[in-house]
Each structure stands twice: as structure tokens, then as C-alpha cells.
Amino acid sequence: MDKYFFMRRMLELLHQPGFLNRLAAITLRAIAGFVVLLSLVTLFKVGKVIFGLPPSGILGGVLFLVCYILAVYAVVHTLIIRAREAAKIIGSEFSMFPLVAVLLKTFGEVFAAFMSLVAVGGGMYVWFTGKSVATILEPLQKLTPVFGDATFLGGMQFIVGGVLSALVVLILSYALSEVVSLLSEAKRRLRETERVSEHSFKFRSGT
């Protein structure tokens, strides 16, 4: 009967060293592909907005488009690099700690790269067009915080707010990653101490 049910096999796979690391690497690569597809929707939206801008505002739309393409590239390349790193983690009883550390850094790096570049492009878009950045970020408003309004000062607020948000998230993700790494090292040393103590006890008992 077991061959008709898949959970036993799934649980066995989860216990195999390195399986979750490989699964995480595949997931990161899949997310990278999804980001590329999703970005095409925004690129189409930006293109429509640019064609509808007056000549004085087209430069702002083009600059935002360049920054957005760079942001997508940065996100996708980061995901691919971290996927390789996750796949190379040696499977062991402590492999989850390094994997979580990599995933935490990946989240911070992806958010920081995307938010900082979009913030710069969005600010320039506001300056050149006098329009709110929300008009060009409509598909991404739930993922990207919007600061300021359609004024010159609002564009500056969007740049500063976006870059600071990226920096804060990056620092927090790296800090959490280091905490996880320290926990991993502490657990590894504790296990080694226990093994040495157990070996010493058996040696003394044998003598």
C-alpha cells in the first residue's frame, strides 16, 4: 500500500542530507524566472506611460525605465548567485542554519537592490514629469513603499526614503543572518564537546 501514498517518500527525502538545500536553490531560480516575467508587465506599463508623456517628461520616464531594468537585473543575478551558494551547502545535521543564513541575506540583498534603484529612478521621474511615482508603479505599489508626492521635494523624499528603507532592511537581514550563523557554530561546538565528553567517559570506564 505504501507505493500508492507519497508522504512516506517525501519525508524520507526531507531527511536526506542536502535535499532542502537543493530544493531552496531550485526555488530561488524559479523566483528569478518569475521576476523576469513579472517585470515584463511593469515594462509594458512604463512604456505606455512614457508614450503619453509630454516631451519635457519623456526623459524622466526613460531614466526610470533604465533604473528599473537595472533593478530587475540586480534581483535576478542575486537570486542566481545565492541559489548556487545554497546548492553548495554540504548536507549535514547543521545544514539548515547555513541555509537560513543564506536565505536571510538573499531577502535583504534583493529588497535593497530593487528598492534603492527604483527609488532613484522614481525620484527622477517625479522631477521631470511632475507626476506621482504611483502612476508608474501601479502594479508594484503593494511591494514598494511610496514616499512623498508629485513635487520636487516629494521626489527627493522618495529617493531618500527608498534608499534608507533598503539600507535598514539590508542591515537587519545581515544581522539576523549572523545570529543564525552564530547559533549554528554554538550548536556545532556543543555537539563536539558532548562527543568528546562521551568518548572520555567511555575511555575511563573501559580502564
Q: Higher model confidence: residue 16 or residue 206?
A: 16
In a domain, residue 3? The reply is: no
Which range has highest mean pLDDT (143-157, 161-175, 183-197)?
161-175
Q: What is the pLDDT of residue 27?
A: 93
- Positive or negative torsion for Cα 155, 156, 161, 167: positive
In a domain, residue 73? The reply is: yes
In a domain, residue 135? The reply is: yes
Domain residue limits at 130: 19-206
Between CA 135 and CA 108 the distance in angstroms is: 26
pLDDT, the chain, mean = 81
pLDDT in tens, 125-157: 889 888 877 777 765 555 566 666 778 888 888
pLDDT category, 108, cuts 50, 70, 90? Answer: very high
Judged by DSSP in three states, 18 sits in: coil
In a domain, residue 6? The reply is: no
Q: What's the number of domains the chain is made of?
A: 1
In a domain, residue 151? The reply is: yes
In a domain, residue 11? The reply is: no
Contacts 24+ apart (CB under 8 A), 177-181: 177/100, 177/101, 177/102, 177/104, 177/105, 177/108, 178/101, 180/97, 180/100, 180/101, 180/104, 181/97, 181/98, 181/101
**pLDDT more than 90, % of the chain:** 33
Q: What is the pLDDT of residue 69?
A: 93
Rounded to two decimals, the pTM is: 0.80
136: cell is: 508608474
